Structure 1
Amino acid sequence: MRDIFLIVFMMGLTVLALRRPFLFTCGYIYIDIVSPQRLAFYLLSSIPISLIFFIAAFLGWAMADNKKELVFSARQVMLIMLLALCGITTWNAVFYSSAIVKWDWVWKALVFAIFLPMTLYTRQRIELVLVFMIVSLSAITVVGGVKTLAGGGGYGTLNLMVSNNSGLYEGSIISAVAICMIPLILWYSKYGTIFPRGPWTRLYCYALVFANLMIPIGTQARTGLVCIAFMILLELRAAKHRMRYIAIVAAASIIAIPMLPSSFSSRMETIAGYKGDASASTRLAVWKWTIDYVKEHPFGGGFDVYLANKLTINMSYKTADGTTVNVVGYDQGRAFHNSYFEMLGEQGYLGVILFLLIHLTGIIRMELIRRAYRNNLGEDAWVSPLAASLQHAHLIYLLGASFVGIALQPFIYLIVAVEIGFDVYVQRHIRKRAWNPFRVRKGRQSPDGQYLPNPEDDEDDFDEPEPERSPTGPRWGPKAAPKPMGRPS
């Protein structure tokens, strides 16, 4: 039955995409997140649907999309450099046969992140990509949330529809991703236009937020708990009524904590006692090995170079009578469990620098947009909150990346691509609506000195027509247009 549903859905999406080629791009996002070929038993599992939609997205853009305002930002250039670096290190990898398996999906994630911003030239398209990301992720989190409420959770035992515990179906990864999407879900519940605004849309969004919060409890991943705490702090900054927000969070915590399973509470307590936790001690040993390895191999060892590590693990814990016991263990081939050390070990110093530049630049750009448009009302009221939500999602993911190796996980590069497309859209269209006397040419002034729009500026085939410039002059006071912020990066 599952196969039939997935096949009918993919066929329906393909038919719609033949009329609206941008849906091939959205379809690839769905496939990248949900991996329906892993959920199917027969037909879909034998068809390379990911590659088919990947190619169809590029062909649809090449044949049908508007290319008048095609632009390449600095972050796309950095993504190209990272892609080239990953290709070089894969070719020279210490474990080539293992590295080529990871390269098979890494190059598609980076190429798609470079390509996606070129298609996001309207608000509708930006929103549609976010909707596909939210709804696609909900196919995993809703199932996990329901099973958690039914008592089916546990570390490494929560069944998320697949037996292969990898990608977004791995407990720590899905915990970080589920929490990082909550700010974007809350933004859509208030400002989204793809679905009619109303109580049903808000109810679904709030229910989805609850399901996402259930994921760290069901997986019992400590990464999820840290991400929840960080998300609460970030949303406090954005809250208009902070005391009310604090009261709601405190009341929810008082109600929820006694209802948590004892196994979850016991596992979370190991965060404080990391010295006696084998997992935490092993990670520290891996990170130390990575630093020593890169000193001798500054360009890294390629994907999965962690297979070469041989570790000496020092642990200590106290017995019931207060005696401290020191234990020394040995292990090898342990994963990095940290995205920053993952990039350092696999791509060397240059790789980790590029990684940090790509993400920090996006966070800074979203902060500039958030500040510049935070007083805007009316049709531009959605701009600043979306910048804040993208920034919060990005920061939460980067915090989660401190505990699990997801440096090149495709999901974060979808967020990076949306940030780039959104940044370019704001600079080209939101700022263009504001009256600016320095842009007025002599031949475009009326006899009374007012600004006249140039019809050629609005001759495009965007899916969403942009409003014309106001002929009434500048808006002064607190609602005045923000100052230009420079070229988008």
Structure 2
Amino acid sequence: WLVLVLVVSIGYYGIKGGVFTVLSGGSARVWGPEGSFIEDNNSLALATIMTVPLIRYLQLQSTQRWQRHLATVAMLLCMASAVGSQSRGAFLAIVMMSFFMWLKSRNKLPLALVVLVALPLIFVFMPDSWTDRMETIRTYDQDASAMGRINAWQMAWRLATDLFPFGGGFTVAGAAVFAKYAPDPSIPLTAHSIYFQAMGEHGFMGLALFVGIFAMTWRLAGATIRASKAEPDLQWARDLAAMCQVGLIGYATGGAFLSLVYFDLPYYLVLIVVVVNRIVAAEMAQRKQAAIAAGQLPRDVHSPYWGSV
């Protein structure tokens, strides 16, 4: 139910944005709800990209053909919405996430056909203005927006180094800080990167904690996948842990260009992985005790698949 709430809450804007992109021929950017974390076109794109793996999870659990088809349409529209945002970071995140979603999914062939056929069509469908914007990824040194971000990253590095190890606090973005630490103080921007934002605001220690949260979540999801892989009735847990990993790949890639350290969706993924791991661990512990009671296992068995996920 939590996954469904997340999918409906953010997927609504992704689906609507995808329809808008198709109807407008990709000539206008897709923006998020005003006054929210995802108001900016780049932020909305990242949120919708992170929602796609959760839709895929629901698709894998569906029992009706119409549900699977509906999920496919929803995923394609969410990706079209992200493309329609004209976000370069979203483009990179889509490429990375699509590969990992295929890698982590069961039933790889249907998903591969959808990605290999539909996704290129979305890109071809976009106007020349979108192609020109994506081309600036290669010529970033000639793009004012990209150079402004690099300027902000350099400011965050200098700030974190000067105020080692705790950084400058929550309110470091501003003209005064840029005047002191930025190579070019005339373009004060937010960090435009979850990594440099964490570094500038909370120092190298804060950056280590921030990255560590998601690194440990990835490992915990991997342990859940290994424990539930051979259990047919726990395939839902395997699928959910794997799709959370895919969502974190989207966040790690697209977030490299956005100031979204405090965006709540990735922390919901952390929460889901922890809860699913606890559920699987409890279930495997019960099965271990039952197997011991039935004489099928010795009492001193120590298998990672038996109650120690």
Instruction: Tell me which interval the TM-score lies in, with the shorter structure as reference length.
Output: 0.7 to 0.9
Inter-CA distance 204–240: structure 2 relative to 1 (3 Å threshold)? closer
| Equivalent residue, structure 2, for 1:189 | 59
State the alpha-carbon separation in 2 of the partners of residues 294 and 277 from structure 1.
Answer: 26
1:37-57 residue CA offsets vs partner (Å, 9 max, x unmatched): xxxxxxxxxxxxxxxxxxxxx
Cα offset for 1:254?
4.7
Inter-CA distance 396–362: structure 2 relative to 1 (3 Å threshold)? same
| Equivalent residue, structure 2, for 1:140 | 13
Where in structure 2 are the equivalents of 1:408-423 lying within 5 Å? 408-423=262-277
Q: Which amino acid aligns with 1:389?
A: M
Cα offset for 1:189?
1.3
- The secondary structure found in structure 2 opposite 1:382 is helix
Cα offset for 1:230?
0.5
Inter-CA distance 431–215: structure 2 relative to 1 (3 Å threshold)? farther
Q: Does 1:305 align with 2:172?
A: yes
Q: Which amino acid aligns with 2:17?
A: G
Cα offset for 1:247?
5.2
| Equivalent residue, structure 2, for 1:403 | 257
Cα offset for 1:346?
0.8
Conserved? CA contact 1:152–1:218, under 8 Å: no
Cα offset for 1:407?
1.0
State the alpha-carbon separation in 1 of the partners of residues 40 and 7 from structure 2.
Answer: 18
Cα offset for 1:199?
2.3
| Equivalent residue, structure 2, for 1:288 | 154
Structure 2 unaligned spans of 5+: 298-302
More helix by share: 2
Q: Does 1:382 align with 2:236?
A: yes
1:230-268 residue CA offsets vs partner (Å, 9 max, x unmatched): 012102323556577555533334533332211111111
Give the RMSD, CA atoms, in angstroms: 2.5
The structure having more radius of gyration, on CA atoms, is: 1
Q: Does 1:363 align with 2:218?
A: yes
Where in structure 2 are the equivalents of 1:33-432 lying within 5 Å? 128-151=1-24, 157-160=29-32, 162=34, 164=35, 166-191=36-61, 197-239=63-105, 246=112, 248-298=114-164, 299-307=166-174, 308-310=177-179, 311-313=182-184, 331-377=186-232, 379-432=233-286
Conserved? CA contact 1:367–1:388, under 8 Å: yes
Inter-CA distance 252–437: structure 2 relative to 1 (3 Å threshold)? closer
Conserved? CA contact 2:284–2:305, under 8 Å: no
Conserved? CA contact 1:183–1:389, under 8 Å: yes
Cα offset for 1:485?
6.8
Q: Which moved more, 1:271-280 or 1:294-303?
A: 294-303
State the alpha-carbon separation in 1 of the partners of residues 162 and 267 from structure 2.
Answer: 30
Inter-CA distance 203–221: structure 2 relative to 1 (3 Å threshold)? same
1:66-93 residue CA offsets vs partner (Å, 9 max, x unmatched): xxxxxxxxxxxxxxxxxxxxxxxxxxxx
Cα offset for 1:435?
5.0
- The secondary structure found in structure 1 opposite 2:24 is coil
Cα offset for 1:154?
5.5
| Equivalent residue, structure 2, for 1:27 | none
